[in-house]
Amino acid sequence: MWRSPEPKKSYEAIIIGGGGHGLATAYYLSKEHGIKNIAVIEKGWLGSGNTGRNTTIIRSNYLWNESAFLYDHSLKLWENLSSELNYNVMFSQRGVMNLAHNEHDIKEMKRRISANRLNGLDSLWISKNEIKKLVPIMNTDNLRYPVLGAAFQPRGGVARHDAVAWGFAMRADEMGVDIIQNCEVKSIKTNNGKVEGVETSKGFIRSNKIGVVASGHTSILAATAGIKLPLQSRPLQALVSEPIKPIIDTVVMSNAVHAYVSQSDKGELVIGAGTDGYNSFTQRGGYNIVEDTIRAMVELYPIFGKMKMLRQWGGIVDICPDASPIISKTSIKGLYFNCGWGTGGFKATPGSGDLFAHTIANDEPHKLNAAFNLNRFVSGDLVDEHGAAAVAH
C-alpha cells in the first residue's frame, strides 16, 4: 500500500507522528504547497495512536466562531474525502445527537444551536418525540436523568478510522513522502533558536522544518526542545459490543450520564466514556469505566442489557485548558505544533492537516487557525469549548 523506505539523512520537512493528522499534513504539504522531500516518522505503525482507537464521531457544532469555522472547514473536506483520496473512508452522515437531561443542558444547547445557526451550520433542537422517532429503542422517561430534548447536527456522522490513515498514507506515498514506521523520535535538536533535526531510533535526521503531531505524547517531545506546553495527557476509553443487526442509525451522545453510542458497519455498538480522572500514558481500558458507562447505556437503552461486550481499550488524549487545539508556530524557528485536540480531534483530521500544512509551508497560520496559537495561553484569548467538547475533559 505504501513503501517502507529507510530514512534519508535530511528532508525539507519532517512530520513527527503517523496518525491521521500527521499523514494529512504530509499529504496537503505535498499536494498544495509543492514540498516533495517530506518524511512522516511514526514510532509504531500508522494509526496506532488515537486515530486507530477513536470512536469516529464527526460534527462541527462548536460554540465560538473560531471553532465552528475550523471544524466546519474539516467537515466540508470530509464530505469529499473519499473522492479526493480515491479511497473509501466510509464517511456516513447519519447525524449526531447530544441529549439534554436537565435545564442547564437545554439552555447551553439552545445557546450553542443559535450560535451555530448564525455561523451557517445545520444545528437544530429536536423534541423528545422527534428523538423517539429517530431512536425508538431509547428510554426517555423512566430513568434518573430523563431525556428532555437534544441538539442535532444532521451533517454529522462517522467514518472508518483506519481507512482515513491508509487513504492519506497511500496518496502521500505516491507523491514521494517517505513514511517511516517503527522509528521513534527521541528528541528535537535546536541551535541558536532554530530547529536542526530529530534524534531517532534510526539515527539523526536533519530538517529545518519540523511539525509535531504526536497527540498524547506531544508534551514529552516539546520538552526535548525546551518548550513547556499547557497540555494534560489523559486516557480516554471506549469499548465495542458483539455485532448485531442494525438497531441504531444515528450517533447519540449524552454528556450528563456520560455515555455515547453509534453502530459500526460491522454491527458492533461503539461505546465511549469521559476521560479518566487522572493523568496517565496507559493505553488500556479499566473495569470501572466499563461499569459506569454500561450502567448509563442500559438505563438509556434497556434492550442492550443482554448484550456481550467484546473489546475495550484506551488512548492518550492531550488536553488544553480551554478544550481547544493548538495549531501553531513556536518561539523556535521551523518548529510547529499541532496538538491539544483532546477527546475530539478525529473529526478535524482533514482540516487540521490542511491548515497545519499551510502554517508549516508559509511559516504563518491560515486565518482559520490563527486563533489556535500558543500565545493565547499568555494573552488570555482562550477559545473555551468545554461545553461543545461533549465528552468530559
164 binds, among ligand FAD, ligand PYC, none (CB under 5 to 8 A by kind): none
Which strand (E) or helix (H) includes residue 53? none
Least spacing, CB of residue 388 vs ligand FAD, in Å: 12
Could you say which residues in the range 107-136 bind ligand PYC, by CB under 6 A?
none
Using alpha carbons only, give the angle 237, 152, 318 rounded to the nearest 5 degrees. Answer: 30
User: In which residue are the cell numbers 504547497 written?
Assistant: 33
Residues near ligand FAD (CB under 6 A) are 16-22, 41-44, 48-51, 53-57, 184-185, 213-215, 217, 221, 236-238, 272, 315, 317, 341, 343-347
Please give the DSSP secondary-structure letter assigned to residue 215: G
Binding piece for ligand PYC, criterion CB under 6 A, among 55-63, 128-136, 165-173, 209-217: 55-63
Q: Pattern 205-244, binding to ligand PYC, x per CB under 6 A?
A: ----------------------------------------
Site membership for ligand PYC, residue 371 (CB under 6 A): no
Q: Are β-strands 96-100 and 57-58 bridged in parallel, bridged antiparallel, or unpaired?
A: unpaired
- To 10 degrees, what angle do helices 161-174 and 20-33 make? 30
Query: Quick one: what does residue 274 bind among ligand PYC, ligand FAD, none, with the CB cut-off 5 to 8 Å set by partner type?
Result: none
Indicate whether 390 belongs to the interface with ligand PYC (CB under 6 A).
yes
What nine digits make up the cell of 130?
422527534
Which window, 18-26, 38-46, 53-61, 377-385, contacts ligand PYC (CB under 6 A)? 53-61
Q: Which of 23, 217, 391, 393 binds ligand PYC (CB under 6 A)?
A: 391
- Rounded to the nearest whole angstrom, what is the least distance from the CB of residue 381 to ligand PYC in the complex? 22
CA atoms of 288 and 291, how far apart (whole Å):
5
Figure out which of the listed residues 314, 325, 344, 353 binds ligand PYC, where binding follows CB under 6 A.
Answer: 344
Confirm or reject binding of residue 352 to ligand PYC (CB under 6 A).
Answer: no
Residue 120 CA to residue 332 CA, distance in Å, equals 37
Taking CB under 6 A as the criterion, the residue among 39, 40, 57, 374 binding ligand PYC is 57
First to last CA, the chain: 36
Q: Is 228 helix (H, G, I), strand (E, B) or coil?
A: coil
CB atoms within 10 A of CB 264: 17
185-191 vs 203-206, strand pairing mode: unpaired
Assess 260 for contact with ligand PYC (CB under 6 A): yes
Cα distances (Å, whole numbers) of residue 21 to 166, 187, 278: 12, 20, 25
CB 161 within 8 A of CB 51: yes
Distance (Å, whole) CA 264 – CA 249: 9
Binding letters toward ligand PYC, positions 269-298, x by CB under 6 A: ---x--------------------------
390 binds, among ligand FAD, ligand PYC, none (CB under 5 to 8 A by kind): ligand PYC
Q: Which residue lies nearer to ligand PYC by CB, 46 or 391?
A: 391
Q: Distance between CA atoms of 354 and 359, rounded to whole angstroms?
A: 9
Among 30, 55, 60, 219, binds ligand PYC (CB under 6 A): 55
To ligand PYC, the closest distance from the beta carbon of 293 in angstroms equals 12
Specify the residue, 216 or 272, whose C-beta has the smaller distance to ligand PYC. Answer: 272
- What per-residue string of b and e applies to 130-153 under the rule 16 or more CB within 10 Å gives b? ebeebbeebebeebebebbbbbbb
Helix (H) or strand (E) holding 6: none
Nearest residue (CB) to ligand FAD, 14 versus 332:
14
- Residue 291, C-alpha cell as written in the block: 461499569
- Shortest distance, position 236 Cβ to ligand PYC, whole Å: 7
Cβ-proximal residue to ligand PYC, closest one: 344
Contact 241, 308 (CB under 8 A): yes
- Out of ligand FAD, ligand PYC, none, which partner does residue 43 contact, by CB within 5 to 8 A per kind? ligand FAD
Q: Enumerate binding residues for ligand PYC (CB under 6 A).
A: 55, 57, 59, 260, 272, 343-344, 390-391
